Amino acid sequence: MQKREKIFSLRKELGKKLKNNGFSKEFMDIQLKFRKPINQYSTAELKEETLKALIKYYRRKIEQVTSYKELEEIIEGIPFSRQSIEISEIEEEGYSSAIHLLTDINPKLKERRNDYKERFTVRNFKELLPINIKVKKFSNNKQQFLEKTGIAFGKIPIRKSAHLRSYRIKTDYKSYRLIDLGTLLAEAFLENSLELFIISNPELYEYQGIKFCFENKMENGNVIDVYVDMKIDNMNAEGRMVFEKLKKFKYISANAELNIIPVVDETRSFYKLYLNSEYNVIHNFNDLHYKIMLREFIDRQENIKKHIKIRGDKATVYARFFETKKHINKSTFKVMKNNCFKENFGYVELDNDVGAMCS
């Protein structure tokens, strides 16, 4: 019985690897470049640099769209978690004040607006894709999704200081929240992606969280002082449980002894992963989750992309020796089967439709 060997492209393989590790496929096209090694950044600096790269990525994508449908497709590419974004076209009636506000904060648009001899309308700025935006974000305090609404020109960025600020229009006594769409998409993408990465890798999070919450040092060769930076009701029981986890992950030696020194503060046990069962989101997601997992999150997806690229480059070298416009014959396939080309061939998509036949 004959079968056709299916040849997967490098891009498909990358998407599969990212998905299996808890990443959105959108990362296939996102390049995060940093000026120095990421372990030399503070968490706040690393988050800011990552957001800058994502804002740049989304603004480039937005610049290329010509319709509301294309804009919606970009938004649909953001993985759903604790933030969701919906847009709708700003209609003509009742929104002249909103357009006035959007053009007022942009000197070029304000000048263009003043050039219109007749009263300007939504139609005059249609190509900039004026939109209503609805943002749903999960509230840790309320344990439910809360809504915010705003307005934007989809294709025009606004200054950082105006993003998510509300402005009141005196003429019609309405207030509008201005939104920079590129920034909003970048913020939602990073937060949702990091949360889904944590949920997809609970043991990794537990391991990184325990390392974050405890500073460990060896004394007398086999005693570890564990400095607790969280408030725990039952210090001995909790500390011993964590100590056993440290041994499990081989972070400390199996014969180490435990000495717990409590530090009283108002933080909680962030190395534990608590989910809201109704919405499947982390119920207390905040900056500490960034401190625990952001570096690992960036490292992991970059390493996946590097690994696939190396394999693809290696396979491409071998592919040159076997390029053909016809089906690969049995003798050639036998050679392929006995060298490392066969191992890597699945990661190459040839220009021609090549059928590898075997019995």
Do 189 and 259 belong to one domain? no
Choose among 95, 96, 90: nearest CA to 116. 96
| Local confidence band at 352 (pLDDT 50, 70, 90 cut-offs) | very low
- Run of H or E including 169: strand 166-169
Q: Is residue 278 part of a domain?
A: no
- State the total domains in the chain: 3
Q: Find the DSSP H helices in 9-83.
A: 10-20, 43-63, 68-76
Residue 257 structural domain: 203-267
Do 209 and 189 belong to one domain? no
Residue 193 has pLDDT above 90, yes or no: yes
pLDDT at 6 (0 to 100):
38
One DSSP character per residue, 170-230 reads TTTTEEEEB--HHHHHHHHHHHHHHHHHHHH-HHHHHHHHHHHHEEEEEETTTEEEEEE-S
pLDDT at 247 (0 to 100):
76
Residues 245/273, Cβ–Cβ less than 8 Å: no
Q: Rounded mean pLDDT of the chain?
A: 75
Do 194 and 212 belong to one domain? no
pLDDT at 9 (0 to 100):
63
Do 218 and 186 belong to one domain? no
Q: Is residue 337 part of a domain?
A: yes
Given 198, 219, 252, the domain boundary residue is 198
> What residue type is assigned to position 201 of the chain?
N
Residue 30 has pLDDT above 80, yes or no: yes
Given 235, 267, 299, the domain boundary residue is 267
Residue 336 has pLDDT above 80, yes or no: no
pLDDT at 70 (0 to 100):
95
Instruction: Read off the pTM.
Output: 0.74
Q: Is residue 143 part of a domain?
A: yes
Q: Is residue 114 part of a domain?
A: yes
Q: Is residue 106 part of a domain?
A: yes
Do 112 and 185 belong to one domain? yes
Q: Is residue 344 part of a domain?
A: yes
Do 233 and 307 belong to one domain? no
Q: Is residue 325 part of a domain?
A: yes
Do 158 and 184 belong to one domain? yes
Do 217 and 185 belong to one domain? no
Residue 327 makes CB contacts below 8 A (sequence gap 6+) with: 354, 355, 356, 357
Handedness of CA 120, 70, 146, 158 (dihedral sign): negative
Do 82 and 131 belong to one domain? yes
Residue 31 has pLDDT above 90, yes or no: no
pLDDT digits (tens, 9 = 90+) for 279-314: 889 888 888 899 889 999 999 888 777 776 766 666
Do 95 and 169 belong to one domain? yes
Given 148, 167, 198, the domain boundary residue is 198
Specify the pairing of strand 214-219 against strand 223-228: antiparallel
pLDDT at 187 (0 to 100):
96
Do 242 and 312 belong to one domain? no
Q: What is the mean pLDDT of residues 147-163?
A: 91
Q: What is the mean pLDDT of residues 42-47?
A: 94
Q: Is residue 317 part of a domain?
A: yes
> What residue type is assigned to position 334 of the chain?
K
Q: Find the DSSP H helices in 224-286.
A: 235-248
Do 243 and 335 belong to one domain? no
Q: Which residues is 166 bridged to in the sheet?
A: 177
CATH number at residue 236: 3.30.70
